[in-house]
């Protein structure tokens, strides 16, 4: 499957089966994230994978995440150096690659950015100087979906000037 095929196939899953991710799938996603580009190769980003069913449930409840996230196979939180825009971008690059790898593996995903960051920081024991940026829920989809319509290329891209 080409990258373009993966991009065309990807959609935001809002209903997961609750089935845990296999150890092989988790290791593959970690390896893909590890090889993502980072600013000046600083690699100033880290990830916390939450895959224990009870931990996911309580974290979703306490951090006021959307309820459907409880049934994801895993949550991957991207953590960056506090105040560093470069490391925040690095988190997004890494999670994007992991998302594409998840789709390649037949898994569903959805980006998560609305939750109580203080709760997440405390529950995941994120040290000072680091901050949670964004998370990705990954798992077996319990629904059939399809990507949304996208704007045509000519509406998105300009040549040389806006």
Overall average pLDDT of the 55-65 stretch: 95
Tell me phi and psi for residue 112, to 5 degrees: -130, 125
Secondary structure (3-state) at 122: helix
Q: Classify residue 17 by burial, with Cβ atoms within 10 Å: 0-12, 13-18, 19+.
A: middle
With contact defined as beta carbons under 8 Å apart, do 112 and 65 qualify? yes
Q: What is the pTM of this model?
A: 0.94
145 pLDDT above the threshold of 90:
no
Describe the crossing of helices 85-104 and 23-34 by its angle, rounded to 10 degrees.
140
Overall average pLDDT of the 70-89 stretch: 94
Secondary structure (3-state) at 102: helix
DSSP string, 2-47: -HHHHHHH--B---B--PPPPHHHHHHHHHHHHTS--GGG---EEE
Please work out, in degrees rounded to the nearest 5, the angle formed at the alpha carbon of residue 102 by the alpha carbons of 135 and 42.
55
pLDDT at 89: 96
Secondary structure (3-state) at 73: coil
pLDDT tens for 94-113 read 999 999 999 999 999 999 99
pLDDT at 146: 83
With contact defined as beta carbons under 8 Å apart, do 36 and 87 qualify? no
pLDDT at 22: 96
Overall CATH class of domain 3-156 = alpha beta
Q: Classify residue 85 by burial, with Cβ atoms within 10 Å: 0-12, 13-18, 19+.
A: exposed
């Amino acid at each position: 499957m080409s990258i373009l095929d993966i991009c065309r196939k990807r959609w935001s899953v809002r209903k997961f089966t609750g089935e845990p991710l296999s150890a092989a799938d988790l290791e593959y996603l970690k390896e893909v994230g590890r090889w993502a580009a980072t600013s000046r190769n600083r690699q100033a980003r880290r990830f916390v994978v939450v895959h224990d069913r009870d931990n996911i449930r309580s974290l979703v409840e306490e951090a006021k995440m959307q309820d459907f996230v409880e049934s994801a196979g895993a949550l991957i939180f991207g953590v960056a150096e506090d105040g560093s825009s470069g490391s925040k971008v690095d988190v997004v690059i890494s999670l994007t690659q992991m998302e594409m790898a998840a789709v390649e593996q037949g898994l569903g995903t959805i980006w998560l950015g609305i939750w109580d960051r203080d709760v997440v920081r405390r529950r995941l024991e994120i040290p000072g100087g680091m901050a949670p940026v964004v998370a990705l829920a990954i798992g077996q989809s319990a629904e059939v979906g399809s990507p949304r319509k996208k704007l045509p290329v000519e509406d998105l891209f300009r040549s040389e000037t806006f």
